[in-house]
Amino acid sequence: MNIKQIAEKAGVSVATVSRVLNHPENVAPATREKIQKIIDQEEYTPNWFAQGLNFNRTKTIGLVIPHTISSSYMEIANGIEEVARQKGYITFMCNMEKDPQMEREYIGQLITRKVDGIILMYSSLTEEYMSWIKGENIPMVLIGENVARPDYNSVIVDCRDGAVQMVAHLIECGHDSIGILCGRDPEQEVSTILQGYKNVFKANGKEVSPKYIQHVDNNIEGGYIGMKKMIAAMTSPGGKPADQLDAIFATSDEIAFGAMDAIKDSGLSIPEDIAVAGFGNNKMSNLMEPKLTTVEQPFRLMGIYGARLLFDLIDEESKRTGRPEHITLKTKMRIRKSCGHKDRIGEMF
């Protein structure tokens, strides 16, 4: 039985049945109960897709993410889906595997499938391509740094400030020579972390030496290889790298995990020989030995705020032509044993 047959049996219009299904508060109680009784008797299930087309909505949103391997990206996705479910929406998640061409193809497919809005996570798309998307008149929100961010509603984290706080903390712990392992993605976010690292050195009258900066793949293997290279470059025959390197700061916890393994495999101790700090507060960071000091990013909140911004655009068309809204979230330091904090005051688990 379809909605038209329900209407005929109840002796009302199709529009009245539709209001019972979508806005029952707008239907007289007696009429509403009569229609609902027929719906229950016939075990009628609405065709939500067709119903969405009638209202120019498909009740779907698209989410394009760099890859599904990172737990950080999945935390953001969970925040998005939490809001989407509350709104009665389904989320199409597209893994573009850090391939800009694949990202463009997914966006094209999402637009073809008439999704009500799109969220791009740590997108690397150019302003030119973003302008093409805007021409399609589809609500879109950016999560993470992007060159075109000023033109779109967005959610980012103040990673520069997080890096400044952590490097300053390492200096307060007595570490003079601090190296940094920079992941290659997300490219723009990593560049802001590196800038924060350099700002602290400059503020303390310290020179930033290229030998203390190593660019690596953003994973455990990249951290391991990068740390091994840094140790080898700084180790003189019969000497320890601790003579020249006090601490290492990694732009992700995954990189820090690899660095910790490399330090241990080199016969060195953490934090006695080399202190370690990460970025992200991966769930595993509290299970490492020693526990990893890190900068916590509010990934789930990024997803929640990003989804809310998108649904504001979907529900209120007037906001699509207004000034873009930008939300910047703050980081928190999670001080644990790996940084060499002597008193471990404020250690956060």
10-35 per-position pLDDT tens digit: 999 988 988 887 667 788 999 989 98
**Do 60-158+300-331 and 160-297+333-339 come out as alike in CATH topology?**
yes
Percent over 90 (pLDDT), the chain: 56
What is the pLDDT, as a whole number, of residue 147? 64
Q: How confident is the model at residue 206 (pLDDT cuts 50, 70, 90)?
A: confident
Q: How far apart are alpha carbons 308 and 87 in whole angstroms? A: 10
What is the pLDDT, as a whole number, of residue 203? 93
For 60-158+300-331, which CATH superfamily applies?
A: Response regulator (3.40.50.2300)
Summarize the confidence of residues 56-64 as an average pLDDT.
Answer: 89
pLDDT at 346 over 70: no
Q: Where are the beta strands (DSSP E) in 257-318?
A: 275-280, 293-296
User: Which residues lie below 8 Å from residue 102, measured CB to CB, with a gap of 6+?
Assistant: 96
In what order do the strands lie in the sheet containing 153-157?
90-95, 60-65, 118-121, 140-143, 153-157, 326-329
Q: Which one, of 183, 167, 197, lies nearest residue 255 by Cα?
A: 183
Sign of CA dihedral 21, 26, 27, 29: positive
What is the pLDDT, as a whole number, of residue 116? 94
Summarize the confidence of residues 58-67 as an average pLDDT.
Answer: 92
Domain ranges, ordered by start, for the chain: 3-46, 60-158+300-331, 160-297+333-339
What is the pLDDT, as a whole number, of residue 304? 97
Q: How confident is the model at residue 349 (pLDDT cuts 50, 70, 90)?
A: very low
pLDDT at 160 over 90: yes
Region of 2 (left: φ > 0; alpha: ψ -120 to 50; beta: rest) is beta
Q: How far apart are alpha carbons 349 and 347 in whole angstroms? A: 7
Q: How far apart are alpha carbons 298 and 316 in whole angstroms? A: 27
pTM: 0.80
Q: CATH classification of 160-297+333-339 is 3.40.50.2300, yes or no?
A: yes
Q: Contact, 167 vs 178, CB < 8 A?
A: yes
CA angle 8, 11, 16 (to 5 degrees): 90
DSSP state of 292: P
98-148 per-position pLDDT tens digit: 888 899 999 999 998 889 999 999 987 877 788 788 788 899 999 998 766
DSSP state of 67: -
**Checking DSSP bridges between strand 332-334 and strand 293-296, what pairing results, if any?**
antiparallel
Q: Is pLDDT larger for residue 156 or for residue 69?
A: 156
Helix (H, G, I), strand (E, B) or coil at 347: strand
304-326 per-position pLDDT tens digit: 999 999 999 998 876 777 788 99
Q: How far apart are alpha carbons 122 and 297 in whole angstroms? A: 14
Q: Is pLDDT larger for residue 145 or for residue 92?
A: 92
- Mean pLDDT in the chain? 88
- CATH class name, domain 3-46: mainly alpha
**Peptide bond preceding 241 in cis form (omega within 30 of 0):** no
216-252 per-position pLDDT tens digit: 999 999 999 999 999 988 766 555 554 578 999 999 9
280: which 2 tokens? 């992200």
